[in-house]
Amino acid sequence: MAHPDAHSPPTSFQEATHLRFGEVRVRNRGRLPHWEKDAGLYFLTFHLADSLPNSVLKKIAERHQMLAAVKGKGARLLPEQKELLEGYSHRRIEEYFDRGSGSCALGDPRIAGSMASALRFWHGKRYRLLAWCIMPNHVHVVARLFPGQELAAVMKSWKLHAARAANQALGRSGRFWQREYYDHLLRSQEELDHAIRYVLENPAKAGLSDWAWVWGSAENPLSPPQVRKP
């Protein structure tokens, strides 16, 4: 898969979201609801099929369904609901990921390289990347989709390319990715800064020193000097 020549991604919220089209819509696929917007700016996470136990996946789905129901009614969470949600918050889920559970196939440079190529392929054409990191069992991306691009289609192209490369390299078959992914619409400069910082710092936080598979725009002031471009 060739990497098209592309300009550096925008580094401010105003640049990254200067195209504002359509309303936020909720689309349900599988277990989780997804809040989407045309030309949306997203913090995305997707992970390998064996990176989380089924019991945790079920609880995550219940959490998202509860949030969607409460938002739909315009109501407030009850204390017991808040307690349940905290147990499967984004922070807790990241702790599961960072333990390095499952096969961790993305730790194989051949497979991580294919994943990086997939991310770069339509950069500047269908979306603009602001930051990404490929962890041993999951991937984080901060990106803005261009108008008319569907988030589900972009995610499918990334995952399909990496899965094919992984199955070929490992001589295996079967499901490589967990079907669901986690998306968060970024609505402010503060949220954007936090998401980019989180992505760039995730490898070090998980104890991965000199990790090659992390990238941020060279023009982004949040990118530390040690970030390398594989």
In a domain, 31, yes or no: yes
Residue by residue, what is the 3-state secondary structure of the chain? CCCCCCCCCCCCHHHHCCCCCCCCEEEEECCEEEEECCCCEEEEEEEECCCCCHHHHHHHHHHHHHHHHHHHHCCCCCHHHHHHHHHCCHHHHHHHHHCCCCCCHHHCHHHHHHHHHHHHHCECCCEEEEEEEECCCEEEEEEEECCCCCHHHHHHHHHHHHHHHHHHHHCCCCCCECCCCEEEECCCHHHHHHHHHHHHHHHHHCCCCCCCCEEECCCCCCCCCCCCCC
In a domain, 4, yes or no: no
Q: Is the pTM of this model over 0.85?
A: no
Q: What is the mean pLDDT of the chain?
A: 76
In a domain, 78, yes or no: no
In a domain, 68, yes or no: no
Task: Tell me the residue range of the domain where 212 lies.
Answer: 13-50+103-216
What is the total count of domains within the chain? 1
In whole angstroms, give the CA distance from residue 136 to residue 214: 12
167's tokens = 């199955």
Does 223 or 121 have the greater pLDDT score?
121
| Average pLDDT of span 164-176 | 90
Residue-wise pLDDT for 100-117, tens only, equals 677 899 999 999 999 999
Position 140 pLDDT exceeds 70: yes
CB 119 within 8 A of CB 158: yes
Helix count and strand count (H, E) for the chain? 7, 7
Predicted pLDDT of residue 192: 92
Q: What CATH number does residue 182 fall under?
A: 3.30.70.1290
181's tokens = 């992914």
The residue among 185, 106, 108, 96 whose CA lies nearest residue 139 is 106
Residue-wise pLDDT for 62-103, tens only, equals 676 766 676 667 777 677 666 555 555 556 666 666 666 778
Predicted pLDDT of residue 80: 65
In a domain, 18, yes or no: yes
Residue-wise pLDDT for 113-139, tens only, equals 999 999 999 999 999 999 999 999 999
In a domain, 145, yes or no: yes
In a domain, 32, yes or no: yes
